[in-house]
Amino acid sequence: MMYLRKANERGKVNFGWLKSQHSFSFGHYYDAKHMGFSALRVINDDVVQAGRGFETHGHRDMEIISYVVSGALKHKDSTGNEYVVPAGDVQVMSAGKGIMHSEFNPSSEEPVNFLQIWILPNEKGGTPGYSQKTFGTQESANDHDIKRELLVSDDGREGSLRIKQNAAISRLTLKAGETWEQGTEDRKGYLHIISGKAHAMVSSETNAVEIGAGDALGVFEEDTIRLKASDELVALWFDLPK
């Protein structure tokens, strides 16, 4: 079975300083058909203008991942962390029993584009945590195939950042004509395209679908997903509990 989420069908908000596209219900956007996928609750594709950002606000009981596509993001939180997160870095903030934070674009000229990802934790409360890492080099891939680089996991394997959920996020980087295949077995899988295009085939379906930037595909019930990149493709693959 396949869940197809097209980019142009996402929820959209434009506050001037912030343009955001919501894959799932969030804030002013609500759609009962799109409340999340397994433990994946939020994917917001945010563009924040130069010098602007999210003022200090609070979260609890949520694993919040920021994937910076272009530009840079400045993070500051109530536990004393204050860092700039450039493109190529991934940031994980485990809200735990509660944390206050702000996220700003430190540039005076360029916007920042990042994916704001929320994953429900498998335990509530606990001490808030923060981690950040630069990915995209062979060293950061820990000698594993850089075509699929593990960014986030429940146990920190392969040099990934840890979250409190039986879930993992990998980045796929395919050249035109390259293929990738993944079975879900007793799990769910969710593919979000950052850039590029591909033809995707799910084993339970008869026809391939073309997907591009902002599109997403969810698979489950022991399906296998097969991708063939039409041009250079960057995507995130979420391995999620059933």
pLDDT in the model for residue 1: 74
pLDDT in the model for residue 141: 47
Read off the pLDDT of each residue in 38-43 and give the average, rounded to a whole number: 98
List pLDDT tens digits, range 159-208.
Answer: 999 999 999 999 999 999 999 999 988 899 999 999 999 999 998 888 89
List pLDDT tens digits, range 92-142.
Answer: 999 999 999 999 999 999 999 999 999 999 999 999 999 999 997 544 444
Residue 57 is labelled as binding a ligand: yes
Read off the pLDDT of each residue in 21-29 and give the average, rounded to a whole number: 96
Residue 59 is labelled as binding a ligand: yes
Burial class for 190, CB neighbours closer than 10 Å (0-12, 13-18, 19+): buried
Residue 221 is labelled as binding a ligand: no
Read off the pLDDT of each residue in 38-66 and give the average, rounded to a whole number: 98
How many other CB atoms sit within 10 Å of the CB of residue 178? 15
User: Tokens 């950061």 label which residue?
Assistant: 140
Tell me how far CA of residue 24 lies from CA of 91, 167, 223, in angstroms: 21, 18, 22
Tell me how far CA of residue 107 lies from CA of 6, 20, 65, 91, 164, in angstroms: 31, 19, 21, 18, 32
Q: Distance (Å, rounded) from C-alpha 21 to C-alpha 13?
A: 7
Read off the pLDDT of each residue in 136-164 and give the average, rounded to a whole number: 80
pLDDT in the model for residue 143: 47
Domains and CATH numbers, the chain: 10-136 (2.60.120.10)
pLDDT in the model for residue 137: 55
Residue 103 is labelled as binding a ligand: yes
pLDDT at 144 over 70: no
DSSP-derived 3-state class of residue 163: coil
List pLDDT tens digits, range 3-24.
Answer: 999 999 999 999 999 999 999 9
pLDDT in the model for residue 145: 56
